[in-house]
A and B are shown apart, each in its own frame.
Chain A
Amino acid sequence: MNFLVESPGLLTTVQDGGRYGYERFGVSPSGPMDRHAFQIANILAGNRRCEGALEATILGPTLVFDGDGVIALTGADMGAALNGVPCPTWRAVAVYAGDRLTMGPARSGCRTYIAFCGGLDVPTVMGSRSTALQSRIGGYEGRKLAPGDTLAVRPAPLPQNLPARRAAPPPPYGGRVTVRVILGPQEDAFTAEGLDTFLTQPYTVSNDFSRMGYRLEGPVIRHREDGNILSDGMVTGAVQVPTSGRPIIMMADRQTVGGYTKIAAVISADLPLVGQCKAGDILRFRSVSLAEAHEALGRAEQELRDLERAVAAPACPEKTYRVTVNGTPYDVRIQRMK
């Protein structure tokens, strides 16, 4: 199956699990901004968790399919419709040749994932299909999708148990969000008052937010001296505070090294919450222990494993009836849900 990008939306890119093994050469990991929703989309569509899928941002694309397939939409609600009829999300959906998937602006959250059974067929660069926008590699020609692009989906046996392929949607995204952080590695560079400001005051996502990082607006975080260090390595979720005292959360397309003090890093289990924030959303930070962070990550992992088990359920019995309405015959397939 291929699909035509009739309109690309604001920023739609191919992402897989990310590009690993090249950070010491300066290559960003890229990958999905909301890893949790991304993996759920793939599992629902019948893929391995980190298969190449689309990440749409703020305004979704319009896609026209030229063959039959199975897709799954997760993440932000962009009011998706299939041939003008609302398209269910957080579950697998069959699409047929000629179907048109339209999406609008995000109603809550920022990023929607569209996974396709078989995964997107784009070449791997350094082992990954993720688009790295700054270095213009990976994904579809190293760039965001444009009108007229045609993407191929790798052929794969389509799952037959679509009704079993559903996941519970998470609570609404964005708005006011508290994310957990591990302090450091340069927490000593800040005054006690500076640390207190960071951990008690609300920060608003500014208009300058991207796959590289989120600049936040809020009370200045005071350093003991300044915000400069000898450049060192970076993690996704690191909260950099330059001398200005204004924090920046480093995200998937971040650079691999940085010369500013890092007051903390958002824990892996809460990074998806940041990835679903957009300008105007309000973040608060809460310091937790490494043990608590790993426990939260373990729970998120367990949720994905449970989902993998649930979607492996055999297809329920199905019956087909021929129904004639106003002289037109229809084949109606009926499947028991549970």
Chain B
Amino acid sequence: MILEVKDASLGYAKRTVLSNISFEVEAGELLCLLGPNGVGKTTLFKSILGFIALKGGEITLGGQNIQHWSKPHLARAIGYVPQAHTPPFPYTVLDVVLMGRIAHLGPFSSPSRNDVKIAEGSLDRLGVSFLKDRTYTEISGGERQMVLIARALTQTPRILILDEPTSNLDYGNQVRVLLQIKKLSEEGIAVVMTSHFPNHAFLCSPKVALLNRNGFEIGMTDDIITERNMKETYGINVRITKLSDNHGAEIKNCVALRN
């Protein structure tokens, strides 16, 4: 199963935001999307998720064009993790995670005992079972992000799409969420996520797509996140350094410079 975007032109009625985008993501692969605000990261996501129609090209899943897939069909294949926010009503965490089963339910049914088991399994997989009976509107931002990931996993998708999964999280939670996402991709799910921090890609993603005014570039993280590319994309000077972690493995670091 692979997600393949072929020569896609994306945008809204009168405005084309991105054109001639081509890339693919394999099962078990993690792709991190980097780029400045307003460059079209969200547009790309919305197109993959079927919220907006393509203006050209095609997007395929396992070789099938997804253009005419129904919403439940799409939801069974692609799990979407939006930025954490609060709904107007105080649902319990289990209620929220169970909503991931909607795409698998008949039009008139509500979750069965088996669906509850799957939802609890997702919470367990992320190590947040203790949140199950808490009220979703009252838990912390980091916990909410985990719950939304658990909800997406409950859809049993083959691809996970995460929109800035670390926004509004404290430093520790950012790292924890990213490592959890990395683990999920290693378990076989294809993951596409956006981030504003090159270091997030160094931490968890072997593959990076860079979106900027010059277009779209995709490749191995080490080849894409370079001092020159960062200058071109964000207009700032950075230095990229190498460190080794406690186990002697090398990890790169992107540091912004004052001048």
A and B assemble together: no
| Interface positions of A (Cβ within 8 A of B) | none
| Interface positions of B (Cβ within 8 A of A) | none
